Structure 1
């Protein structure tokens, strides 16, 4: 960058310094999957999520978004099931925490339906009940009880 460009960048940063970013929420988080149909069977079929988008995304790519049922956080964050690639493989710890009203009931349901869940619900003092699960691609998500 030349000196004037650096000055202008600094001026623009200063203009926004008091305002901060204008982000209003988290729209979508991406989870890499090897097989979209298998992922949809899990997220929509087993977990009961709604499919909010299913379309192509560039050559040979598919973009699918799912969200908790409307009774939950309608209009909130979606999970994009994106094509796994060498630089973004499936089988990751997503860091995603899904909210539930009853971690014990969800754990039992998912286990009964053959989902790879932690052996038991974590119940530590001062921490909401929670457990981890793995989707068919081995992506790790967590379910956390909210009251």
Structure 2
């Protein structure tokens, strides 16, 4: 029997929650869904998501066990990968080259301020 109905939130470790929040909101255009003190984590429970999006990202304080600068495995969807790539690199975001392979939607990797690796692909 399947007890789970979806994926709600994935965690990304960050060294500075305020800097991460600024990047995800002002650079990526996400919205803040929750920002609550959470002293048990040494910071806040900070959740962002694409506007109207389903799955969210919790920007949690990095630890020795869960350090910043990781390959998140998160794949973000975009209607225009080339435009998203140009916009992000135009804002100084570190991004790898736009991949445009025959038969595969365009995609690229990019990095948040903590060098966490994210992926964007045309949906």
Out of 80, 87, 106, the residue aligned to residue 102 of structure 1 is 80
Which protein is bigger by CA-based radius of gyration? 1
Distance 1:110 1:58 in 2: 33
Number of aligned residue pairs: 122
Distance 1:26 1:96 in 2: 12
- Does the residue aligned with 1:117 lie in a helix, a strand or coil? coil
Distance 2:59 2:68 in 1: 10
Out of 31, 41, 58, the residue aligned to residue 22 of structure 2 is 41
- Does the residue aligned with 2:39 lie in a helix, a strand or coil? coil
Give the corresponding residue for 1:135. Answer: 112
Structure 1 residue ranges without an equivalent (≥5): 1-19
User: Aligned-residue CA RMSD in angstroms?
Assistant: 0.9
TM-score of the superposition, structure 2-length normalised?
0.95
Distance 2:4 2:39 in 1: 27
Tell me how far 1:128 sits from its aligned partner: 1.1
Tell me how far 1:80 sits from its aligned partner: 0.4
Tell me how far 1:58 sits from its aligned partner: 3.0
Aligned 1:1-147 pairs, distance under 5 A: 20-59=1-40, 60-70=42-52, 73=53, 76-118=54-96, 120-146=97-123
**Bigger fraction of residues in helix:** 1
**Bigger fraction of residues in strand:** 2
Structure 2 residue ranges without an equivalent (≥5): none
Tell me how far 1:61 sits from its aligned partner: 2.4
Distance 2:100 2:10 in 1: 27
Tell me how far 1:125 sits from its aligned partner: 1.6
Distance 1:61 1:123 in 2: 40
TM-score of the superposition, structure 1-length normalised?
0.80
